[in-house]
Amino acid sequence: EAQVTQNPRYLITVTGKKLTVTCSQNMNHEYMSWYRQDPGLGLRQIYYSMNVEVTDKGDVPEGYKVSRKEKRNFPLILESPSPNQTSLYFCASSFRRADGYTFGSGTRLTVV
Amino acid sequence: AQKVTQAQTEISVVEKEDVTLDCVYETRDTTYYLFWYKQPPSGELVFLIRRNSFDEQNEISGRYSWNFQKSTSSFNFTITASQVVDSAVYFCALSESYGNNRLAFGKGNQVVVIP
């Protein structure tokens, strides 16, 4: 089944403890992105990648890192999480711009 | 930069009524792509439709229909004979033909269908 898989679905962590949210797609898509969703703010792009080893900042990149060493994987790294990073995170992939994104199921992160 | 506006935040309808969700967009690009996504209470984002800027044909899919009007920069979505399962947040989104393949989302419309 064609899909974007992100893990974990739910995560509660403490301020400052490094964490990684994994994302993998099995559709051979070139484009991948991370979004965060917050009440009243909608969905905002954190980082994106146009291909292996090509990544760039989106609208809200502060406090996040990504890497794209393989086409299928695009992990999101929070080196030192803070409470303002409590949010619902979505990974997404796309073959081309006209297709729009296929989204993962989301990761609900709480930083206390 | 592209921008998408969905003015109504929460809309309540009684089951079997029709509901129309307005989406107005801004872009300087002549080639762009418009999308609608559904987010049910379970939280995932479900793709509903895409439209490119050169295709102004309206589309109907079951009880869903979309009206794209380039002249008013609008891409409205109508649910006919709403059902409780239509209760969700609906997002309109826009992608331009250059740059970072960023999907710019509107704030979403919370649709509540009352049985």
CA distance B65 to B108: 17
Distances (CA, A) of A44 to A61, A69, B87, B106: 10, 24, 23, 10
CA distance B24 to A102: 23
Q: Write out pLDDT tens, residues A57-93.
A: 999 999 999 999 999 999 999 999 999 999 999 999 9
Identify the pLDDT of residue B106: 93
Residues of A in contact with B106 (CB under 8 A): 42
Residue A8 Cα, gap to closest chain B Cα (Å): 14
Judged by a CB distance cut-off of 8 A, whether residue A39 touches chain B is no
pLDDT > 80? residue A97: no
Virtual CA dihedral for B51, B54, B57, B61, nearest 10 degrees?
-20
Identify the pLDDT of residue B59: 84
Amino acid at residue number A2: A
Identify the pLDDT of residue A96: 84
Q: Write out pLDDT tens, residues B25-84.
A: 999 989 999 999 999 999 999 999 999 998 888 888 899 999 999 999 999 999 999 999
Identify the pLDDT of residue B35: 95
Instruction: Mark yes or no for CB contact B102/A45 under 8 Å.
Output: yes
